[in-house]
Amino acid sequence: MVQSYKELVAWNKAMGLVTEIYRVTKKFPKEELFGLMSQLRRAAVSIPSNIAEGRGRLSKGEFRQFLGNARGSLAEVETQILIAQNLSYLDEPEANKLLAMVEEVGKVLNGLISAVKNQ
């Protein structure tokens, strides 16, 4: 039985995604500081934050709700990566790496949602 959110694979993979998002957005144009860069970073941070907050709640229903919020933020991140690529803020290899990470987080997160639902 997992005791802490820090033991969850979904949380750890989401933390890796956040780190990579911060790394690549450092290269965004300065005019995006309060635009796409900020939005992408906030959405990315929201993923592991929702997983952690949900794990700290008292009921499985609340945990599932927060996992759903994390999944919504993940879709937001994916969309914003595609926007950044369309605007040439990310080159194709960077975007593909991030999108692969998003896909991996999504698979693990969906597995966790299923596991919580079936408990």
User: In degrees, to the nearest 5, what angle opens at C-alpha 16 toward C-alphas 10 and 22?
Assistant: 135
Could you state, in order of their start, the residue ranges of all structural domains in the chain?
6-117
Query: How far apart are the C-alpha atoms of 50 and 18, rounded to whole Å?
Result: 13
Phi-psi region of 81 (alpha: psi -120 to 50; beta: other; left: phi over 0): alpha
Instruction: Quote the pLDDT of residue 79.
Output: 98
- Give me the residue label for tokens 């990470």: 101
Query: How far apart (Å, rounded) are the C-alpha atoms in residues 18 and 93?
Result: 17
Residue that has been written with the tokens 């995006």 in this structure: 32
pLDDT band at residue 119 under the 50/70/90 scheme: confident
pLDDT tens for 16-75 read 999 999 999 999 999 998 999 999 999 999 999 999 999 999 889 999 999 999 999 999
Provide the phi-psi class of 57: left if phi over 0, else alpha when psi is between -120 and 50, else beta.
beta
pLDDT (tens digit, 9 = 90+) per residue, 70-114?
999 999 999 999 999 999 999 999 999 999 999 999 999 999 999
Residue 12 contacts residue 39 (beta carbons within 8 Å): no
- Looking at CATH, the fold of the domain delimited by 6-117 is given as de novo design (two linked rop proteins) (1.20.1440)
Residue 2 pLDDT > 80: no
